[in-house]
Every structure is written in C-alpha cells, then in structure tokens.
Structure 1
Amino acid sequence: MTLLEVRGLEVTYPGGAAAVRGVDLRLAAGQKLGVAGESGCGKSTLALALLRLLPAGTRVGGQVLLDGEDVLTMRWGQVRAVRWAGASIVFQGAMHSLNPVHRVGDQIAEPILLHRRATAAAARKQAGELLEHVGLPAARASAYPHELSGGQRQRVMIAMALACAPRLIIADEPTTALDVMIQAQILRLIEQLVAEQDLGLIMISHDLAVLADTCDRLAVMYAGRVVEEGPARKVHEDARHPYAKALSAAFPRIGDPASRFAPRGLPGDPPDPAALPPGCTFHPRCPVALDSCAVDDQALREADTDRSAACVHVPAPVRGPAATAEDARSGTCPSGT
C-alpha cells in the first residue's frame, strides 16, 4: 500500500529561485527511499515541503499525498496533527536542532505531551523508553545536549522523531557530522527501526554509497528535478544519467586502485535556481552533452526494468513482439521507428 505519493511538486522561493521542479515520488510502508545530490540540488527543500515547513512567501504546487490526503491543502490544524504523529523529520546537525538549555528527556517528552495528551509522568517514562530503544540508557534523559557526544545526540533526535509513532520518517543528512564508526551504528539503527515498526523512510544524503547500502530505491536530484530513479544498488553501480554516474564516481571504492589514486569528480557547480540554463540544466557540466541538449530539456524515461533516467543518451526500451503487435493495433509506433 502506498504511504506517500508526491505528484508534480514545485517549490519556488521568494525572488524566483525554483528549488524543486516537478518531482514525482512514491513510497510504501516498510520501504526506504534515498534522495541524493549535491548541495543546492533541492533535497532539503523537498524534505521541508513534504510537511509544509518552508518559509512564508514560498510558492508550492503539486500534491503531497500522505495516506491519500494532500498535506498541501490541509487546514493548519490538520497539518499540526500530521507533524510528529503522521510524519517526522530527523534534521542534520543535532546540536543545532536540540534546545541547549533543556534536558533531552524533556525535549523528547514535549511532542508526547502535545500530541498524545499524556501526563507529565507518563511522557517522561516514555522518553526514557525511547532512549533505551535507540541504544542509550534511560538515565541520559537528564542530560543537556552539550553533555552528549555527536552520536548520542543523533540518537536523541531519532528517539524524538519516533516519539508519537509516526508512519513516515524523513532523515535529512542524519550522519553527515559523524565519524564513520558512529555513522555505521546510526544507519544500522535506522534500518532496524524501519523493519521493526514497518515505517516508511526517506533518507537524504550526498553520499550514494551510504544510500545504496541503506535504501531500497534511490532518486538522484539535480537543479530541483529527479534525473534518475530506480533500485538503489543499480543506480549506484550502473547509473544511466551522467550526473548520477559522476556523483557515484566521486567516492573512491574500496579495493579499486584506479578510483583510489585517481578519484573522479565533476567540474563546476550546480546552476543558480533563479537563473537556470535553457535545455537540459546539466548540459553545461555534462561530458557527453550534445548540441541539442542546450535546447531540449529531457523528461524521465524508462532506462531499464523498474528504472528511469532523464537523458538523451538513454536508449528507448527494448520492446518485444507482443508490444509491437499491440502498437500496431492501437495505431502507434514504437519509439525510434
């Protein structure tokens, strides 16, 4: 059953910056979707738009269907009820998200008091249980954020996100500030919680390798659009869009001397969302761009079984005799003929 469906999402900031442009995504309960891309590609804006957390004056279009209801058209009272209880966010940089003058247990208990209408004693008890659930002693509820390590603070953020038993977790760069050992622990914890509680997970990161190890599917964003989407390992190991391929190649692979001694990157920077180039927005940086790419934009098209990419170099899907016969009956022609 579909938990979240995003249809044609558009986000434009005051001043005309088109941060998200026509994004379509789908997520089922128990499924993990990764969203990857460089800084400025629209990943975090997408996450904020899902729960209407964008600043005033931002224009948002399209649909965000959570359990069939459009979050973008809900009354504010409904939106407040959906946040925490229906869906919650784990923000990057726990030290910036936690209140430094309140004990972490009180911060975990706050949404429980607001949404579950529990007594103060019951909320404190549940906060301790949530801390134990994410691998911290319940006694750490009395600690202030600065008394915890980076990994412990991130676990507190996850406990807070789980406080009201939401069906959807949005994790925005949840391990960026952590060392590799703690990062691995946090990722294993997130995977375990998703499996145990049948949650839907959207994980945002610039690191395709992390997303490929953690997620079922992967969407790669560039200049506010999804340019490739499909099974996470396939996208990481055999990307079809040149941007997704460059993003994957930017990280050296263990056991591959060529990538270790000559890591490949991508020259240039993502375009200004307020002044996007014509045609395919990636063509100024694309090593395989054609002259037509500067004029013609590319929509997502089928690139493989259960995979799509927005590139002129993606060949038309192979069509069997049955499909060709069906085209003949309907009066249409196969692509490329």
Structure 2
Amino acid sequence: MTLLEVRDLRVTYPGGVAAVRGVDLSLAAGQKLGIAGESGCGKSTLALALLRLLPAGTRIGGEILLDGEDILTMRWGRVRAVRWAGASIVFQGAMHSLNAVHRVGDQIAEPILLHRGATAAAARRRAGELLEQVGLPSARASAYPHELSGGQRQRVMIAMALACDPRLIIADEPTTALDVMIQAQILRLIEQLVAEQDLGLIMISHDLAVLADTCDRLAVMYAGRVVEEGPARQVPAGSRHPYAQALSAAFPRIGDPASRFAPRGLPGDPPDPAALPPGCAFHPRCPVALESCAVQDQELREAGAGRRAACVHVASGTAVPGETPEGEDMRSSAP
C-alpha cells in the first residue's frame, strides 16, 4: 500500500525562485527512498515542502498525499498534528536543532505531552524508552545537548522523531559531520527502526554510496527536478543520466587507485534557480549534450526495468555515452 505519493510538486520562493519543478515520487510503508544531488538541487526544499515547513510567501503546487490525504489542502491544525503523528523529520546538524538550554529528555517528551495528551510522568517514561530504543541509556534524558557527542545527539533527534509513532520519517543528511564508525551505527539504527516499525523513510544525502547501501530506491535531483530514479544499487552502478554518472564518478571506488587519487566530477555548479537555462537545465555542464538539449527539456521516461531517466539519449533508445558499467561497486573507500 502506498504511504506517500507526491504528484507534480512545485515550490517557488518569493522572487520567482523555482526550487522544485514538477517532482513525482511514491513510497510504500517499509520502503526506503534516497534522494541525492549537489547542494542547490532542491533536496532540502523538497523535504520541507512535504511537511509545509517552508517560509511565508512560498508558493507550493501539486499534491502531497500521505495515506491518501493531501497535506497541501489541510487546515493548519491538522498539519500540526500530522507533523508528529503522521510524519516527522530529522534535521541535519543536531546541535543546531536541539534547544541548548533544555534537557534532551524534556525535548523528547514535549511532543508527547502536546500531541498525545500524556501526563508529565508518562511522557518522561516514554522519553526514556525512546532513548533506550535508539541505543542510549534512559539516564541520558537528564543531559543537555552539549554534554552529548555528535552521534548521541543524532540519536536523540531520531528518538524525538519517533516520539508520536509517525508512519513516515524524513531524514535530511542525518549523518553529516559524523565519523565513519558513528555514521555506520546511525544508518544501521535507522534501517532497523524502519524494518521493525514498518515505517516509510526518505533519506537525503550527498553521498551516493550511503544511499545505495541503505535505501531500496534512489532518486537523483538536479535543478529542482528528478533526472533519474530506480533501484538504489542500480542507479549509481549503471547510470542512465549523465548527471547521475558524474555523481557516481566523483566518489573513489574500492580497488581502483586511479579513482581514489583522481576522482572525476563536473566543473561548475548547478544553475541559479532564479535564472535557469532554456532546454535541459543540465546541458551547460553536460559532456554529451546535443544541440537539441539547449532548446528542449526532457521528461522522465522508461530506462529499463523499474528505471526512469530524463535524457535525450534515453529518449532516442541509445546508451548514454560513458555509461557506468552495470554492477560496479561504488561504495566509498574512505578509511
């Protein structure tokens, strides 16, 4: 059964800045969807739009159906309830998201008090249980954020996201700035919670290797649009879109010293959302662009079993030049 369905989502900031341009996504309970792309491609805006957390004056169009109910047409009272009981978000940078002057147990208990009508004692007890669930002693509920390590603070953020038993978790760069050992622990924890509680998970990251190893499906965003989507391990291992190829090639590969010391990538940056180029937004950086790419944009279309890509080469039925060999292991060789 479909838990979340996003149809033609469009987000425009004041001043005509088109940050998300016609995104379609779907997610089932128990499924993990990864969203990748460079900074400025619209990933975090997409995550915030799913819970209507965008600033005043932002225009949002399309549909965001959570269990069949459109979040964009809900009254604000209903939205506030859905943000905890239906879906919740784990922000990047736990130290900036947690309140520095309140104990972490009180911060976990707060949504339980507000949204579940629990007594103070019951909320504190539940906060301790949630900390145990994410691998921290319940006694750490009395700690302030600065008394915890980065990995411990991230676990507190996950516990807080689980406070009201949501069906959907949105994790925006949940392992940013963590060392590789703690990162692996947090990722395994998230996977375990999704499996045990039959949650839906949307995970946002710059790291294709993390998403390929953690998620079931992967969507690659560029200039506010999804340019490739498919099974998480197949997308980086056999990219159908030149941008997804470039992201994959930017990571060193296990057993390939040449890629470790000279990883490939792309020059330049994603375009300014307020001044997008005509045609395919990627064509100014694309090494295999055709003349038609400068005037004609491409829609997502079938690119193999369970695969979609928005590229003129896919549209013509030919292989994308320089396509990543199928099955190549793209996990990072970071120490």
TM over 0.5: yes
- SS where residue 89 of structure 1 aligns? strand
Q: Is the 8 A contact 1:33 1:202 kept in 2?
A: yes
Query: What does the per-residue CA deviation read over 1:80-105, in whole Å, with 9 as the maximum and x for residues that have no partner?
Result: 11011100000000000000000000
> 1:57-100, CA deviations, whole angstroms, 9 ceiling, x for partnerless residues?
00000000000000000001110110111000000000000000
Contact 1:302 1:317 in 2 (8 A): no
Aligned to 2:174: 174
Q: Structure 1: which amino acid aligns with 2:305?
A: T
Map 1:261-300; keep pairs closer than 5 Å.
Answer: 261-300=261-300
Separation in 2 of the partners of 1:270 and 1:150? Answer: 30
Question: When the two structures are aligned, how many residues end up with a matched partner?
Answer: 318
Which segments of 5 or more consecutive residues in structure 1 lack a partner in the other structure?
A: 319-337
The answer to whether the 8 Å contact 2:113/2:120 transfers is yes
Following superposition, the deviation at residue 315 of structure 1 comes to 5.0
Q: State the AA in 1 paired with 2:47.
A: A
1:302 aligns with 2:302: yes
Give, as a single letter, the amino acid of the residue that structure 2 aligns with 1:6: V
CA deviation string 1:158-183 (max 9, x = no partner)? 00000000000000000011111100
Q: Which residue of 1 aligns with 2:238?
A: 238
Instruction: For 1:113, give the aligned amino acid.
Output: L
Query: Are residues 1:105 and 2:105 paired?
Result: yes
- Tell me if the contact between 2:32 and 2:217 (Cα under 8 Å) persists in the aligned partners: yes
Q: Does residue 196 of structure 2 align to residue 196 of structure 1? A: yes
Asked whether the equivalents of residues 303 and 316 of structure 1 are also in contact (C-alpha less than 8 Å), the reply is no
Shift of 1:317: 6.1
Which residue pairs with 1:135 in the alignment?
A: 135
Matched, 1:2 2:2: yes
Instruction: Report the counterpart of residue 322 of structure 2 in structure 1.
Output: none
* SS of equivalent to 1:314: helix
Matches within 5 A, 1:1-337: 1-315=1-315
CA contact (8 A) 1:223 1:271 kept: yes
2:19 alignment partner, SS class? strand
Are the counterparts in 1 of residues 33 and 216 from structure 2 also a CA contact under 8 Å?
yes
Q: Distance in 1 between matches of 2:255 and 2:188?
A: 23
Letter in 1 for 2:115: H
Measure the CA separation in 1 of the matches of 2:256 and 2:218. 23
Return the alpha-carbon distance in structure 1 between the equivalents of residues 31 and 84 of structure 2.
19
**How far apart in 2 are the matches of 1:137 and 1:279?**
54
Partner AA of 2:205 in structure 1: S
**Structure 1 residues 199-234: Cα deviation after superposition (integer angstroms, max 9, x where no partner):** 000000011110000000000000000000000000
Inter-partner Cα distance in structure 2 for 1:101 and 1:156: 15
Q: What is the rounded CA distance, in whole Å, between the counterparts of 2:264 and 2:9 in structure 1?
A: 32
For 1:79, the aligned partner's letter is V
> CA offsets per residue over residues 182-201 of structure 1, 9 Å max, x none?
00000000000000000000
The one-character-per-residue Cα deviations of 1:256-295 (angstroms, maximum 9, x if unpaired) are 1221122101100000000000000000000000111001
Name the CA distance, whole Å, in 2 between partners of 1:195 and 1:148: 27
What letter matches 2:138 in structure 1?
A: A
Call closer, same or farther: CA 1:172–1:306 in 2, change over 3 Å. Answer: same
Letter in 2 for 1:176: T
Residue type of the partner of 1:94? A
Name the TM-score, length of structure 2 as normaliser: 0.94
Which residue in the other structure is 2:328 paired with? none
Looking at structure 2, the residues matched to 47 and 260 of structure 1 have their Cα atoms a distance apart, in angstroms, of: 32
CA contact (8 A) 1:304 1:317 kept: no
Letter in 2 for 1:2: T
Using a 3 Å threshold, how does the CA distance of structure 1 residues 92 and 305 change in structure 2: closer, same or farther?
same
Structure 1 Cα separation of the partners of residues 58 and 177 of structure 2: 29
Contact 2:50 2:71 (8 Å CA) reproduced = yes
Name the SS of the counterpart of 1:54 in structure 2.
Answer: coil
Is the Cα contact below 8 Å between 2:87 and 2:170 reproduced in 1? yes
> Alignment partner of 1:101: what SS?
coil
Asked if structure 2 preserves the Cα contact closer than 8 Å seen for 1:7 and 1:24, the reply is yes
Alpha-carbon deviation of 1:36?
0.3
Find the aligned partners of 2:258 and 2:232 in 1 and give their Cα distance.
23
> Compared with structure 1, are the counterparts of its residues 167 and 317 closer, same or farther at alpha carbon in structure 2 (3 Å cutoff)?
farther
Could you tell me whether the CA contact under 8 Å between 1:302 and 1:316 is conserved in 2? no
CA deviation after TM superposition for structure 1 residue 254, in Å: 1.6
CA distance in 1, matches of 2:176, 2:225: 23
CA contact (8 A) 2:301 2:315 kept: no
Query: Aligned AA for 1:260?
Result: R
Task: Give the Cα separation in 2 of the matches to 1:240 and 1:84.
Answer: 37
Native 8 Å contact 1:94 1:157 kept in 2: yes
